[in-house]
Amino acid sequence: MDRRTFCGLTAGALFSGSIQPLQSETSQGDKKPRFTHERTGEGLFYETREGRKPHILLISADMVGPDLYHPLRPLSKLVRIPAIDSLRKDGVFFSNAFCTVPLCSPSRASYLTGRYAYIQGNGERAPEGLETQLRDDDIIFPEYLKAAGYVTRQVGKCHVGTKKFMDAFGENDQPWDRWSPPIFDDENFLAYQRKLGVKPQKYSREIVFRMQDRKTAGNSTGGWVVQQDGKPFPMQAQYSYYLGVKAVETIEGLINNGSIDRHPMYLQLDLFDPHQPFSIPAGFEEREAELRKVMTVPESWRTARSRNFKRAPDEPEIIDIYRRYWGLYDEQQLIDYRIAYILQMELVDQVIGMVLAKLKELNLYDDTLVAFISDHGEMNGRRATVDKGVYLHPDIVRVPFVVKPPHSFTSPNSQIDSPVSLLDLSQTILQAAGIRPEAKFDGVSLLSTMEKGEGTEDRTLLFFGGWHVGVNFDCGIQYCAANGKRYLYAYNCTSEVDELYDLDDEDASNLIAKPEMAAIRKEVIKRLGEALQSDPRWGGYWAEFRVARFHDLPRTEGDMQLFTMPA
């Protein structure tokens, strides 16, 4: 079966065992409606194909910046991620993939529902009154899979409210619903460590940044760990490795109890790493020494140091808040951070490799759709900040997005450069599973894009922010100019400073005030205005944007109070 045939039939392909002929797709009128909640009639969907469906494995890592994987980044050449590289070789790599909100909870809410999230901040910091978890009547895409006959399992981080994960994965699911991993209070993990004969971890070398006085110890970003008694801490006892072991045991369990003989499998492995605080175990000493010989800091960090880390005229105030929050005043500390970040990612890759190896050992790999994503990116020292936040920058809105389809998708092995969103993940997986929900989604299936090897450049993807370390209800879009250059435009509600970035710049600077960018600036303001005005969900943003950028937007008439006249 060639690639074109696969993409035409993939919604209902039989990939567990031998490939079987598929019936033509039938119309909805010929199919019985199905529901994620049969008693209430919620979650209407149709199954578009007959026969068994592909197994599906979704792997998410937390806070993976382009430095760790993107071929345009020089630093990525230093990173050893053979397992992820193998997925790229066997599948499709979307080089311009983006999240919707560069924060954990909102991003996860978006890609799980396939809709822009009403959640605009992480629950740990949002004030009372702001939504921080998905609502009970939201439907996340694994619920459709479960209702369609998939045996659904999940391992790792949740951070959108455990209620929806219980709905999707069953009452025995054990998701943890906070930003940091439960390495000291997960009883199953602690029992696992005891079985290995390993004591809990403590830091042997810890990266601790400084407060604004540049003397007082501030935020810890973790570092290198040993056992409580000072003995080396083996990688097998590290939390991400433990999650990988749980994923492997889950697959083996489904094999042993015969579930995979009766049902296709959906497994979701949600890793915390390489998000800080880092927990680097023993075994990475040689790699650390290699990286120390070549590691540098971003030029934008040096520029910030030359200003004594004061805000530049082309920076919004929110950047200054984050810069003072993190306190990256010492160059050696930043080098330590960047090395630790790479080492933690290489550990993640080993975990992924372990899970993929088990699929191959059990002869499941070829028949499984495997997707790898991250919820958002990472600044990694640029602008003298790390982590992510409620501002928009290429390094935190860009994410890895790889799809390895089942083997019948003949030799995809391609890179697609047209823009895509994590919003597209749910529709891609559901179409591959032969499921068509009757609901409104903001994403699209990427199967036809994978078939053709290219997508469309003329697509408006929106970005938002809200509440985190500081407050900045920002919004923005990506834009591809006629000359093929890709840009990110950001409007900050809490600042007079707009931002315009070259998405392909390795250390992007704000281009908004450059005379040669005048035409691009005008076009992106117009496009953002059109997007905000066209969707009632963004009425609050539009109400301000049309006032703040009145002279840059096309002239419109009418009551600016958005008063509704009778028809």
In tens, the pLDDT along 14-69 reads 333 332 322 334 455 557 899 999 999 999 999 998 888 999 999 999 999 999 99
Max CA separation in the chain (angstroms): 76
**Of 391, 361, 400, nearest in space to 60 by CA:** 400
Nearest residue to 122 (alpha-carbon basis) of 108, 137, 103: 103
Q: Of 73, 459, 498, 128, whose CA–CA distance to 313 is shortest?
A: 498
The pairing of beta strand 398-399 with beta strand 97-98: antiparallel
Q: Does residue 13 register a pLDDT over 60?
A: no
Return the pLDDT at 20: 31
Six-digit token pair at 166? 């219980």
- Cβ atoms within 10 Å of 24's Cβ, excluding its own: 9
What Cα–Cα distance (Å) separates residue 362 from each residue in 13, 53, 186, 350, 355? 20, 18, 29, 19, 11
The whole-number pLDDT of residue 21 equals 29
Mean pLDDT (whole number) for 299-312: 98
pLDDT at residue number 6 = 36
Q: Does residue 7 surpass a pLDDT of 70?
A: no
HSE-CB at 473 with a 13 A cutoff on CA atoms is 14
Judged against a pLDDT cut of 70, whether residue 436 lies above it is answered with yes
Assigned CATH topology for domain 3-17+31-452: Alkaline Phosphatase, subunit A (3.40.720)
Q: How far apart are CA 143 and CA 234, in angstroms?
A: 37
Least confident of 25-34, 204-213, 274-283: 25-34
Strand partners, 368: 55
Q: How confident is the model at residue 266 (pLDDT cuts 50, 70, 90)?
A: very high
Confidence of residue 411 (pLDDT cuts 50, 70, 90): low
pLDDT of residue 464: 95
Q: Give the per-residue SS3 of 46-73.
A: EECCCCCCCEEEEEEECCCCHHHCCCCC
Q: What is the per-residue pLDDT for 556? A: 75
What are the distances in angstroms from CA 111 to CA 177, 275, 459? 17, 19, 18
CA–CA separation, 114 and 436 (whole Å): 13
Residues 6+ away with beta carbon under 8 Å from 194:
none
Contact 488, 99 (CB under 8 A): no
Domain ranges within the chain, ordered by starting residue? 3-17+31-452, 462-552
Tell me the C-alpha distance between 267 and 81, whole Å: 21
Instruction: Read off the pLDDT band of 565 (50, 70, 90).
Output: low
The span from the CA of 127 to the CA of 113, in Å, is 23
Average pLDDT, the chain: 92
Task: Please give the pLDDT value at position 3.
Answer: 39
SS3 337: helix
pLDDT recorded at residue 308? 98
- 528 or 556, which is more confident: 528
The distance of Cα 173 from the centroid of its chain, to the nearest Å, equals: 21
Name the 3-class secondary structure at 500: strand
Q: Which long-range contacts (CB under 8 A, 24 or more apart) does 287-293 make?
A: 287/80, 287/343, 287/346, 288/339, 288/343, 291/78, 291/339, 291/342, 291/343, 292/335, 292/339
Q: What would the mean pLDDT of 386-409 be, rounded to a whole number?
A: 94
Residue 501 predicted with pLDDT over 70: yes
126 has a pLDDT exceeding 90: no
